[in-house]
Structure 1
Amino acid sequence: MPGLLFPSAVLKESDLNSMEKTDRKKAKNLGKDFICRLQSIFPSPAPTADSSKLSKLNTEEALLWSQSLEKLLQSKYGLPVFQTFLRSEFSEENIEFWLTCEDFKKIKSTSKQASRAKKIYEQFIQAESPREINIDHHTREAIRLNVQEPTMSCFDQAQKIVYGLMERDSYPRFLRSEIYLTLSGKIQPNQVKG
């Protein structure tokens, strides 16, 4: 049966080692690209006498992000860094939904609320939607009914589920990522495990 999986030849150990080196090189380049993107989002200040204090503050702030997802999301710099990280993993729909729900709760006008609820449903909740979030069928169905006459809390259950998913999955990966380890001073910018 191995011939069905590898019709031309069986992979040799040297081929596997070569593939591993290529994967490490890609990971290293991805890390460098990610750091460059972050530097464009948060340009370094002009050198001053207080530059070392500023860089220490950023490191201290990054270290605070490891205390909880809530602290990360409340941080002026933590939230965009986390969003950039999720974009790099093609998994930004959860944070986008969570932030959209936070904005939705601020809407006072019932007509604007109804219009926005419908858009949120179509974008994130409806099956096969462009940014469909991972929630159970019962929650999805309850939201479908609630959107008919939306209230500020019509997305609360889904938002709670999504927050839990980020807290258990995306957030721990973020804390192990090269970008977080670099920003928190735990590794040097171009230091890659391998």
Structure 2
Amino acid sequence: MASDRAQIRRRLSRMDSASRSPRLCWRGPNTCCFCTCLTVRNEDNDDCSRRASTISMLESLQKHEESLTVRNEDNDDCSRRASTISMLESLQKHEESLTVRNEDNDDCSRRASTISMLESLQKHEERGSLSLEEVTAWSQSFHQLLKNPTGRNILMEFLQSEHSDENILFWLACEELKREDHIANIAEIAKSIYLDYISILSPKEVSIDASVRETIDKNMAMPTADMFDEAQVQIYVLMQRDSYPRFLNSPIYKSLLQNITASANALDSQL
């Protein structure tokens, strides 16, 4: 009995010690399901941490690139604006230079034209082709001015200085057409007048109403000597209203009238 009790005690002691010592998985060390799950979870946590760190770095790089892009775009905008401003300033200076040159050229052209007209007037005076009555009559009636050959020439020179001589040239061409009798010549002159003064492609196109222009276009199929009469009247009124008052106030006419008056007074004093 004593030996049996000793054996039982030894067995209980072994069982107690066995229960107190850690148990190992029957599959061997590090092969327990629970251990494996813990390992996998740790690896997943490490992967998540690395992914979060990588995403954070990528977002930071993206923001940095966007910031650099905005800065580059701002710099490009500033460069383009500066270049545009520089070009505009250069163009403005060029235009100002051209304007000054054009004004100088216009002044020179007007002076040359005035000198030429004064020389022409002087020649007329020397020839004695003008009288005080004629020159005075020009200021009383536009019709008297156009009827006088010398008056027409002086008026044409004045209109050339204003770059509007196409009006009187058209009026004179219409007068020439109305004096023509031959049908063939009428057609030829009418075509020439149309191309020179009526066509919208002509650099010397006169200003007439659209309805009058349409009528002329229709009549060009069978031209007549009086087909431009309505247009001629409109140009006559235009010259009488606009060009004629400026002519009477121009230095050319005033100088002519003054010289003719002085010459007439000198002749009267000698008598």
Give the TM-score taking structure 2 as reference length. Answer: 0.53
Counterpart of 1:120 in structure 2 is: 193
Counterpart of 2:252 in structure 1 is: 179
Counterpart of 1:102 in structure 2 is: 175
Query: Do the aligned partners of 2:145 and 2:152 also contact (CA within 8 Å) in 1?
Result: yes
Distance 1:106 1:187 in 2: 33
Distance 1:77 1:68 in 2: 15
Counterpart of 1:145 in structure 2 is: 218
Task: Determine what percentage of the aligned residue pairs are the same residue.
Answer: 40
What is the CA-CA distance between 1:111 and the residue it aligns to? 1.7
Distance 1:31 1:118 in 2: 34
CA deviation map 1:60-102 (0-9, x unaligned): 3111101111100111321111111111211110000000000
1:69 to 134, 142, 158: 142
Query: What is the root-mean-square deviation of aligned Cα atoms in Å?
Result: 3.4
What is the CA-CA distance between 1:59 and the residue it aligns to? 2.7
Distance 2:164 2:248 in 1: 16
Query: Do the aligned partners of 2:208 and 2:234 also contact (CA within 8 Å) in 1?
Result: yes
Amino acid at match of 2:211: H
Once the two structures are superposed, the pairs formed by residues 9-158 of structure 1 within 5 Å of their partners are 31-40=114-123, 42=124, 44-45=126-127, 58-158=131-231
Query: Do the aligned partners of 1:123 and 1:129 also contact (CA within 8 Å) in 2?
Result: yes
Number of residue-to-residue matches in the alignment = 168
Query: Do the aligned partners of 2:167 and 2:235 also contact (CA within 8 Å) in 1?
Result: yes
Note the residue ranges of structure 1 that are not aligned, 5 or more in a row. Answer: 9-22, 46-53, 190-194
Distance 2:193 2:208 in 1: 14
Note the residue ranges of structure 2 that are not aligned, 5 or more in a row. Answer: 1-87, 94-105, 263-271
Distance 1:86 1:24, change over 3 A: closer
Distance 1:137 1:180 in 2: 34
Distance 1:151 1:24, change over 3 A: closer
Distance 1:93 1:180, change over 3 A: same
Distance 1:39 1:145, change over 3 A: same
Stretches (4+) displaced over 6 A: 23-29, 186-189
Counterpart of 1:11 in structure 2 is: none
Distance 1:25 1:170 in 2: 22
Query: Do the aligned partners of 1:139 and 1:158 also contact (CA within 8 Å) in 2?
Result: yes
Distance 1:32 1:117, change over 3 A: closer
- Match of 1:184, SS state, is helix
Structure with larger Rg: 2
- Match of 2:222, SS state, is coil
Amino acid at match of 2:118: I
What is the CA-CA distance between 1:121 and the residue it aligns to? 0.6
Q: Which has the higher contact order (CA 8 A, sep 6+)?
A: 1
Larger proportion of helix: 2
Give the TM-score taking structure 1 as reference length. Answer: 0.72
- Match of 1:135, SS state, is coil
Distance 1:28 1:104 in 2: 35
Query: Do the aligned partners of 1:182 and 1:188 also contact (CA within 8 Å) in 2?
Result: no
Amino acid at match of 2:149: K
Distance 1:121 1:31, change over 3 A: closer
CA deviation map 1:18-37 (0-9, x unaligned): xxxxx999977754443124
Query: Do the aligned partners of 2:132 and 2:260 also contact (CA within 8 Å) in 1?
Result: no
